[in-house]
């Protein structure tokens, strides 16, 4: 086993026995939600995974170790530390390992560590993508490049609606990343199911998705897969309402000079404030929905 990779006993046992395992990220704990909702949500996600037949492997960097499977105390630590915790993407991992520091993993870093551990599927809220105005700023999430290079399937509620969804789809197409809509023919926009952008592939059953992941892995070419799972209808927010909040948050970010990796957490936090907390409730529910689907897919994959 890689000396910098540390698996919990439960994750190690599940993998050894070829039982379903799904990865979960940790920036959603440190940067995605306020305390204590972040810790409550993280622990509830692990419970949802187990309810649907999979062992959860929440991933983070702790004391320079790439950890797949955290203790409750470690999750509590990430939640309490919050946004002062280093947000760890691909570029940050060597530094954190060398200096024995901590980091909450983004989608990209979670994919890397999941692949190292032999975990094929990962559930998150929404992936990063091409930011609005990227033709000037060149602000494109490392998540997209990781999807093009790392063989982990990612279940999400589409791309975060603070992004340019059309350009995000174009980027994924250029990189050859399959984008699959689960029971939908449009790319959901995180808080809302309403979208004018079509997904290229649609799947109506968990078994179909499991077979596609296994087929992609059998081809042995690099890259993952994006599975877009719409937020449940009862929690979906009206597109006009959420877009108005996003536009306001974007204007504030530009005025304050917020840039780089600080943009997404700033925008998500402001959208929560502007919507009176409604977006946070939607965020929590869509994450639960994605974890349940990922666990079901992992179970179907283990059955062949």
User: What are the tens digits of pLDDT across the range 170-186?
Assistant: 999 999 999 999 999 99
Burial of 304 (0-12, 13-18, 19+ CB in 10 A): exposed
> CATH no. for residue 81?
3.40.1790.10
**Strand (E) or helix (H) holding 173:** helix 165-174
Residue 249 lies in domain: 5-302
Q: How far is Cα 120 from Cα 298, in angstroms, rounded to an integer?
A: 8
φ, ψ of residue 15 to 5 degrees: the values are: -65, -40
Closest alpha carbon to 50 in 19, 8, 27, 18: 19
Is 165 within 8 Å of 189 (Cβ atoms)?
A: yes
Q: How confident is the model at residue 70 (pLDDT cuts 50, 70, 90)?
A: very high
Higher per-residue pLDDT: 244 or 135: 244
Using CA atoms, how far residue 215 sits from 36, 219, 225, 226, in Å, is 40, 6, 11, 14
Question: What is the arithmetic mean of pLDDT over 31-46?
Answer: 93
What pLDDT shows up at residue 138?
72
What pLDDT shows up at residue 131?
72
Q: How far is Cα 253 from Cα 276, in angstroms, rounded to an integer?
A: 19
- Chain segment 238-284, per-residue pLDDT in tens: 888 888 988 898 889 889 988 777 777 788 788 889 988 888 899 89
What pLDDT shows up at residue 262?
78
What pLDDT shows up at residue 137?
67
What count of other Cβ atoms lies within 10 Å of the Cβ of residue 217? 15
Is 253 within 8 Å of 246 (Cβ atoms)?
A: no
What is the number of structural domains in the chain?
1
Q: How far is Cα 74 from Cα 67, in angstroms, rounded to an integer?
A: 10
What pLDDT shows up at residue 27?
93
What count of other Cβ atoms lies within 10 Å of the Cβ of residue 172? 22
- Chain segment 192-216, per-residue pLDDT in tens: 888 889 999 999 999 999 999 999 9
DSSP 72-124: HHHHHHHHHHGGGS-EE-GGGHHHHHHHT--EEE-HHHHHHHHHHHT--EEE-
Residue 49 predicted with pLDDT over 80? yes
- Chain segment 253-266, per-residue pLDDT in tens: 889 988 777 777 78
Q: How far is Cα 132 from Cα 112, in angstroms, rounded to an integer?
A: 26
Is 96 within 8 Å of 269 (Cβ atoms)?
A: no
φ, ψ of residue 36 to 5 degrees: the values are: -95, 0
What is the pTM for the complete model shown?
0.92
Q: How confident is the model at residue 191 (pLDDT cuts 50, 70, 90)?
A: confident
Q: How confident is the model at residue 163 (pLDDT cuts 50, 70, 90)?
A: confident
Percent of the chain with pLDDT over 90: 70
Can you tell me which residue has the tokens 């692949």? 115
Active site residues: 25, 160
DSSP collapsed to 3 states, 207-218? HHHHHHHHHHHH
Question: Residues 254, 258, 262, CA angle at the centre, nearest 5°?
Answer: 140
Residue 56 predicted with pLDDT over 90? yes
């Amino acid at each position: 086993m890689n000396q910098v990779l540390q698996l919990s006993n439960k994750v190690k046992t599940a993998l050894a026995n070829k039982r379903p395992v799904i990865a979960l990220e940790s920036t959603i704990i440190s940067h995605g939600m306020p305390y204590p909702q972040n810790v409550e949500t993280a622990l509830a996600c692990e419970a949802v995974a187990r309810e649907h037949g999979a062992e959860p492997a929440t991933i983070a960097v702790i004391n320079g170790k790439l950890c797949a499977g955290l203790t409750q105390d470690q999750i509590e630590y990430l939640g309490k530390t919050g946004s002062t915790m280093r947000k760890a993407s691909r570029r940050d991992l060597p530094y954190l390992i060398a200096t024995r520091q901590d980091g909450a993993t983004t989608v990209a870093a979670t994919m890397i560590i999941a692949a190292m551990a032999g975990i094929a599927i990962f559930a998150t809220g929404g992936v990063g993508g091409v930011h609005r105005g990227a033709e000037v700023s060149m602000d494109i999430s490392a998540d997209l490049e990781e999807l093009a290079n790392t063989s982990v399937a990612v279940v999400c509620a589409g791309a975060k609606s603070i992004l340019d969804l059309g350009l995000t789809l174009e980027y994924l197409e250029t990189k050859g990343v399959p984008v699959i809509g689960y029971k939908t023919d449009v790319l959901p926009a995180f808080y809302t199911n309403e979208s004018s952008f079509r997904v290229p592939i649609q799947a109506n059953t968990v078994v179909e998705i499991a077979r596609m992941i296994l087929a992609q892995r059998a081809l042995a070419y690099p890259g993952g897969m994006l599975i877009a799972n719409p937020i449940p209808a009862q929690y979906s927010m009206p597109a006009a309402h959420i877009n108005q909040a996003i536009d306001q948050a974007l204007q504030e970010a530009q005025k304050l000079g917020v840039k780089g990796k600080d943009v997404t957490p700033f925008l998500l936090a402001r959208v929560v404030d502007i919507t009176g907390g409604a977006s946070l409730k939607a965020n929590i529910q869509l994450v639960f929905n994605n974890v349940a689907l990922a666990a079901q897919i992992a179970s179907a994959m283990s059955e062949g």
